[in-house]
Structure 1
Amino acid sequence: MWPRKQTRDTQVLSGMMMKQRRFEALVDAFQADLYRYAYWLCHDKTVAEDIVQETYLRAWKALDSLQDEHAAKSWLITILRRENARRFERKQFDLVDIDDFAVASEDGSPDTAIEQREIQRHISALALEYREPLILQLIFGLSGDEIATQLQLNKNTVMTRLFRARNQLKDALQPYSQQGGQQHG
């Protein structure tokens, strides 16, 4: 009877260690993408961090339900989107708006930083129905089919929304690019 208990304990510990490694692999693989997406959704660094943490908490609890490792990214994005929606169900206090977090440019030039903020501002100004598929494509590199699955929409609807989002963004940025062209010669 004693060896049987040791075997069972060993199996339980082994299973827990496998789950821990599996979870750590998910965190390592998708942490940056999830944070970027959360930030795009809420435009607040600390809220984005909280949403990602809640996403990982829910993912840990439901990790055994993830059958296909190739679907892990979509699975985590779905959890994150639902977690973001839950924050609106909770009581919200009035907050003072602050400037959007600026992403540092690779070349460090002020012009590039200004352009990035301008693009981010215009993407943020898009209606959610256009902004969300565009962000899923730009940040996560999801295909039209994957976005359709993620947002539970028809692929044609997704492609139309992506087309309209790009056109709205192009129209919004057109005056900025013309102004930049005049300034730089």
Structure 2
Amino acid sequence: MKRKQKRYEALVHIYSPDLYRYAYWICRDPDIAKDLVQETCLRAWKNLDSLLDDNSVKGWLFTILRRENARRFERKRLPLVDLDDFEIADQYDCSKEMENELLGRKIALLANEYKEPLLLQLIAGFTAEEIAIQLDLNKNTVLTRLFRAKNLLKSSLTSVTDKNGEAHG
């Protein structure tokens, strides 16, 4: 039991920051993100004996988190959140914060088929191959979706800056 607990604590210590960042990106609510990570850790503890290869732990944990997020919608229908309700934090570099907020909003508006692989790559650092396994897709499909997601973001951000009168070269 003590060996299992040490293994579990090591895994949680290593991966919980990445799990939280990913959870926050998919739900955009810090409290729900914390709950998702907590539920993920609880489920991981209960099923730790089924994890045979520690090299696959990151994918295993992110799969649990994605499933926990899906369960959240199965349990109850949550109200839709208007992205305009998110406040921009006052920080020393307001323009950088505004850029990050704009990018976050644009990512949130992507269709799930593009948003999910993009977040798995950006937030969790998964390779296209690992994302393909996570989402049960062909690697080429993942690469195509990542390419399209980045192009959609690029054109969406370009149209915003064009509307603001900034020059592009």
Task: Output the TM-score relative to the length of structure 1.
Answer: 0.82
1:109-150, CA deviations, whole angstroms, 9 ceiling, x for partnerless residues? Answer: 110000000000000000000000001111111111000001
Verify: 1:53 aligned to 2:38, yes or no. yes
Identity, % of aligned positions = 56
Structure 2 gap ranges (5+): none
Per-residue deviation, 1:68: 0.6
How many pairs align?
Answer: 165
User: Of residues 12, 16, 27 in structure 2, which corresponds to 1:31?
Assistant: 16
Per-residue deviation, 1:20: 0.7
Q: Computing the radius of gyration over CA atoms, which structure comes out larger, 1 or 2?
A: 1
Per-residue deviation, 1:151: 0.5
Matches of 2:51 and 2:34, distance apart in 1: 23
Verify: 1:155 aligned to 2:139, yes or no. yes
AA aligned to 2:36 is I
AA aligned to 2:145 is R
Per-residue deviation, 1:103: 7.2
Verify: 1:110 aligned to 2:98, yes or no. no
Matches of 1:96 and 1:38, distance apart in 2: 16
User: Of residues 110, 113, 135 in structure 1, which corresponds to 2:119?
Assistant: 135
Task: Output the TM-score relative to the length of structure 2.
Answer: 0.90
Structure 1 gap ranges (5+): 1-15
RMSD: 2.0
Matches of 1:27 and 1:79, distance apart in 2: 13
Matches of 1:142 and 1:101, distance apart in 2: 29
Q: Name the residue aligned to 1:22.
A: 7
1:143-165, CA deviations, whole angstroms, 9 ceiling, x for partnerless residues? Answer: 11000001110001100100100
Q: Name the residue aligned to 1:100.
A: 86
